[in-house]
A = this chain, B = another copy of it.
């Protein structure tokens, strides 16, 4: 019997995807659940809902609350936190590069460093030089990766990925989806999603 699995959908620009990405590894291991990392773009999904930016920008009260909540949350987790400017950051390039890395063996490490660069180090993750620096830091030569990330294969994969997110009803990030199709939205649903995935098997 295959190990239970959980799809981990996230957007690099999504604030609550930061704590989710940084903490997901150990509890998944402990639950015996295999993670399938699914970076995608929330932008087209928000656009389909009529939003032209993050709902946290469109609704200032909710946005103010979110930043404070994230500050408390990262504090509890011992994660450094700095509010990114501008917000949201363009996540397209990092997402393409992550797809290259997840097909190799450095995808998860890259994702964590992108989140850390943006939410702890105040770096601009839409900048190719920044993405190149992150790659070098995890021991990956940037040039061939950036070339592959800009190619048609990765572009098509990402379009299909974002389409898949829509078709399963993903409307925010992070979202966790079990093999049986059970959907859990939000960093605070991680434990419940892992328990559900483990029970499904």
- The residues of A with any CB-CB pair to B shorter than 8 Å are 49, 59, 61-62, 64-65, 68-69, 72, 169-172, 183-185, 188-189, 192
Contacts and interface: CB of A to CB of B under 8 A. Distances in A.
The complex is assembled from copies of this chain, and their number is 2
A185 B49 contact: no
Contacts of A64: 169
Given A61-B169, A69-B184, 4 more contacts: A64-B169, A65-B185, A69-B189, A188-B188
A84 B83 CA distance: 40
A172 B7 CA distance: 29
Contacts of A185: 65, 69
Nearest to A68: B183
A171 B65 CA distance: 9
Contacts of A65: 169, 171, 183, 185
Contacts of A68: 183
17 contacts: A49-B59, A59-B171, A61-B169, A61-B171, A62-B171, A62-B172, A64-B169, A65-B169, A65-B171, A65-B183, A68-B183, A69-B184, A69-B185, A69-B189, A72-B192, A188-B188, A188-B189
Contacts of A188: 188-189
A59 to B, nearest CB: 6
Contacts of A169: 61, 64-65
Contacts of A59: 49, 171
A73 to B, nearest CB: 9
A176 to B, nearest CB: 12
